[in-house]
């Protein structure tokens, strides 16, 4: 018998030490006591006024005790259930789920090769692919429904476009508090009432503050509504290092955490115990192009560090990966997407969004979604780590086959090779075979696969009666805003 053994059931990855996390946490608390944040929402300011916080105009400074108290009330587990009825998404420490990003105004048109405005139809196509591809665990709209009758109600139309072809759990953006209320009503219809939705939420609401340390009216309106109804929500700062946050990653993490902690207190004052998820798209401003970078290595590094912090705080984490600054799906896109997919996965963030983004979060590409399916598979394979039990050490087999022997026909190989990653798009053929098969590039194969899925995949349709009820909510909203 052996003693004192440790076995890694997966690969291990961490950016920050516990002492570094503590430094960042204490610094964020210091920011809230010394600098505070601004809030442009009357009810929220009123909540802070009636607490131990100090409110001067729109500026709120928060004592550490309030933060520490609020932090005790957030769940360490949220389970999401899509309209397919499966409680498929367990958000808990070091359990990772991948999903798309949302609201891209443009779409890469596969026929013309040019970008154009995103439509309802583009979102239904993205929904279909996400439903079909098994490495996607949740769906954000990818594109924005740009052809809704009124921009003020686009979010309801977008939810319908998503629901039409995708049965998986979702992360939803909304126009404002009223928009979120409609989405929530629709979610309750799908799950069978408010209580069922609370136990089996089908979506998480995406909400963001404005860095540095600013909370605008609509963001707070959504956040307080989510708190009131206990709708899972992430409040996800999007600081750009060097522009809306310090140019040092540590400084950006401190500020981003302060923004998150302010939200935890605000939600706690409204209604203790809402399922709030920590977030952060933490990256740099490109100093040549003045663009917010989705492909910078600093995004990967800062995001992984942010996830370390979230785990230390016992908060669930919404992170970023599979995204690129490249204008089209090319070598740059593949390199950048692979890097941030890889490290976001290893970090153990719970919801990794923006998978498939190109053109720094402005351009939607269905083909990019298909390429990322393959890359997510590769990344997950790496995460599995290495089994070192007797069967896997294979000593008897090595002895049996001996020097100069072969393994390809052994039972051991027959049983274990299926543990490997099985490529669907990667080409590993020899040169002659590759030429014979048409000398296709990865891009060619991705195009074919995308078309094949769009032509052949049939998602479980939305039940007709329910569909009518849901459209009623959308139509009512359109009437109100006509």
Partner 1 sequence: MSYDLGKITETLIQGKVDRLTELTQEAIDSNAEPAKILNEGLLPGMDNVGEKWKNGEMFMPEVLRCAKAMSKSMDILRPRLTEGELGSAGTLVIGTVAGDLHDIGKDLVGMMFEGAGYKVINIGIDQPNENFVNAAIEHKPDVLGMSALLTTTMPRMGEVVNSLKEAGIRDQITVMVGGAPVTEEYAQEIGADLYGANASTAVDVTREYFAKAKN
The structure tokens 């090779």 sit at 417
Do 245 and 211 touch, CB atoms closer than 8 A?
Answer: yes
Nearer CB in complex with partner 1: 81/445: 445
Query: Smallest distance, Å, CB 131 to partner 1?
Result: 23
409 binds partner 1 (CB under 8 A): yes
Query: Smallest distance, Å, CB 429 to partner 1?
Result: 8
Q: Judged by CB under 8 A, which of 57, 404, 438, 465 binds partner 1?
A: 404
Choose one: 121-129, 136-144, 372-380, 428-436; the region binding partner 1 (CB under 8 A): 428-436
Do 194 and 188 touch, CB atoms closer than 8 A?
Answer: yes
Query: Smallest distance, Å, CB 386 to partner 1?
Result: 20
- Give the Å distances, CA to CA, from 228 to 42, 200, 265, 451: 16, 17, 14, 43
Q: Judged by CB under 8 A, which of 413, 442, 466, 476 binds partner 1?
A: 413
430 binds partner 1 (CB under 8 A): yes
Q: Which secondary structure element, helix H or strand E, spans residue 150, and what is its range?
A: none
3-state SS, residue 210: strand
The vertex-220 CA angle with 103 and 104, nearest 5°, equals: 5
Q: Which residues contact 37 (CB under 8 A, 6 or more apart)?
A: 59, 60, 209, 213, 214, 215, 258, 259, 262
Nearer CB in complex with partner 1: 85/423: 423
Nearer CB in complex with partner 1: 20/413: 413
Nearer CB in complex with partner 1: 415/463: 415
Nearest one of 338, 422, 412 to 381, comparing CA atoms: 422
Burial of 62 from C-beta contacts in 10 A (0-12 / 13-18 / 19+): buried
64 binds partner 1 (CB under 8 A): no
Nearer CB in complex with partner 1: 1/408: 408
Number of residues that bind partner 1 (CB under 8 A): 12
Contacting partner 1 within 320-349 (CB under 8 A): none
The structure tokens 């009437």 sit at 479
Nearer CB in complex with partner 1: 26/414: 414
Choose one: 47-55, 154-162, 348-356, 431-439; the region binding partner 1 (CB under 8 A): 431-439
Choose one: 6-14, 198-206, 338-346, 407-415; the region binding partner 1 (CB under 8 A): 407-415
417 binds partner 1 (CB under 8 A): yes
289 binds partner 1 (CB under 8 A): no
Contacting partner 1 within 439-458 (CB under 8 A): none
Nearest one of 329, 342, 368, 339 to 130, comparing CA atoms: 368
Nearer CB in complex with partner 1: 56/134: 134
x/- track of binding to partner 1 for residues 356-395 (CB under 8 A): ----------------------------------------
Q: Judged by CB under 8 A, which of 10, 289, 433, 441 binds partner 1?
A: 433
What φ, ψ does residue 227 adopt, rounded to 5°?
-65, -45
The strand pairing partners of 364, in sequence order, are 107
Choose one: 94-102, 344-352, 364-372, 404-412; the region binding partner 1 (CB under 8 A): 404-412
Burial of 54 from C-beta contacts in 10 A (0-12 / 13-18 / 19+): middle
CA distance 92 to 76: 6
Choose one: 78-86, 276-284, 316-324, 429-437; the region binding partner 1 (CB under 8 A): 429-437
Do 286 and 279 touch, CB atoms closer than 8 A?
Answer: no
CA distance 52 to 63: 7
Choose one: 47-55, 154-162, 402-410, 459-467; the region binding partner 1 (CB under 8 A): 402-410
The DSSP string of 240-275 is: EETTTB-SSHHHHHHHHHHHHHHHHHHHHHHSS---
And the tokens for 89?
């998404």
Choose one: 16-24, 329-337, 386-394, 403-411; the region binding partner 1 (CB under 8 A): 403-411
Choose one: 114-122, 155-163, 272-280, 411-419; the region binding partner 1 (CB under 8 A): 411-419
Q: Judged by CB under 8 A, which of 389, 390, 406, 455 binds partner 1?
A: 406
CA distance 263 to 286: 28
Binding residues vs partner 1 (CB under 8 A):
404, 406, 408-409, 413-414, 417, 429-433
């Amino acid at each position: 018998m052996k003693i004192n053994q440790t076995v890694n059931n997966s690969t291990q990855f961490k950016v920050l030490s516990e002492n570094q996390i503590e430094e960042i946490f204490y610094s964020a608390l210091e920011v809230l006591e010394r600098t505070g944040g601004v809030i442009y929402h009357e009810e929220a300011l009123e909540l802070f006024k009636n607490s131990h916080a100090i409110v001067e105009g729109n500026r709120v400074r928060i004592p550490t005790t309030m933060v520490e108290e609020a932090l005790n009330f957030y769940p360490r587990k949220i389970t999401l259930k899509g309209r397919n009825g499966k409680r498929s998404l367990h958000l808990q420490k070091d359990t990772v789920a991948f999903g798309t990003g949302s609201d891209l105004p443009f779409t890469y048109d596969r026929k013309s090769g040019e970008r154009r405005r995103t439509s309802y139809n583009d979102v239904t196509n993205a929904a279909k692919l996400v439903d079909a591809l098994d490495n996607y665990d949740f769906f954000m709209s990818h594109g924005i429904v740009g052809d809704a009758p009124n921009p003020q109600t686009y979010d309801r139309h977008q939810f319908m476009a998503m629901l039409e072809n995708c049965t998986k759990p979702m992360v939803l953006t909304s126009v404002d508090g009223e928009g979120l209320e409609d989405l929530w009503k629709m979610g309750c219809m799908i799950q069978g009432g408010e209580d069922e939705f609370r136990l089996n939420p089908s979506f998480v609401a995406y909400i963001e503050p404005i860095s540095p340390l600013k909370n605008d009216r609509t963001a707070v309106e959504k956040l307080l509504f989510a708190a009131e109804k206990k709708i899972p929500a992430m409040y996800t700062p999007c600081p750009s290092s060097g522009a809306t946050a310090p140019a040092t990653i540590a400084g950006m993490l401190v500020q981003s955490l302060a923004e998150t902690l302010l939200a935890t207190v605000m939600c706690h004052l409204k209604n203790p115990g809402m399922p709030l998820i920590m977030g952060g798209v933490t990256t740099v401003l490109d100093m040549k192009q003045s663009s917010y970078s989705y492909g910078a290595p600093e995004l990967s590094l800062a995001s992984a560090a942010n996830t370390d912090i979230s785990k230390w705080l016992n908060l669930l984490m919404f992170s970023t990966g599979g995204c690129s600054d490249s204008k089209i799906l090319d070598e740059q896109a593949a390199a950048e997407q692979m890097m941030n997919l890889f490290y976001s996965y290893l970090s153990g963030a719970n919801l990794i969004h923006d998978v498939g983004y190109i053109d720094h979060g402005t351009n939607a590409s269905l083909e990019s979604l298909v390429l990322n399916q393959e890359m997510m598979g590769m990344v997950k394979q790496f995460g599995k780590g290495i089994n070192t039990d007797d069967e896997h050490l294979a000593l008897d087999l090595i002895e049996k086959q001996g020097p100069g022997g072969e393994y390809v026909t052994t039972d051991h190989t027959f049983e274990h090779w299926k543990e490997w990653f099985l490529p669907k798009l990667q080409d590993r053929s020899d040169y002659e075979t590759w030429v014979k098969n048409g000398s296709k590039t990865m891009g060619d194969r991705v195009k074919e696969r995308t078309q094949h899925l769009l032509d052949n995949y049939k998602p479980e349709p939305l039940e007709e009666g329910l569909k009518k009820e849901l459209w009623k909510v959308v139509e009512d909203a359109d009437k109100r805003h006509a």
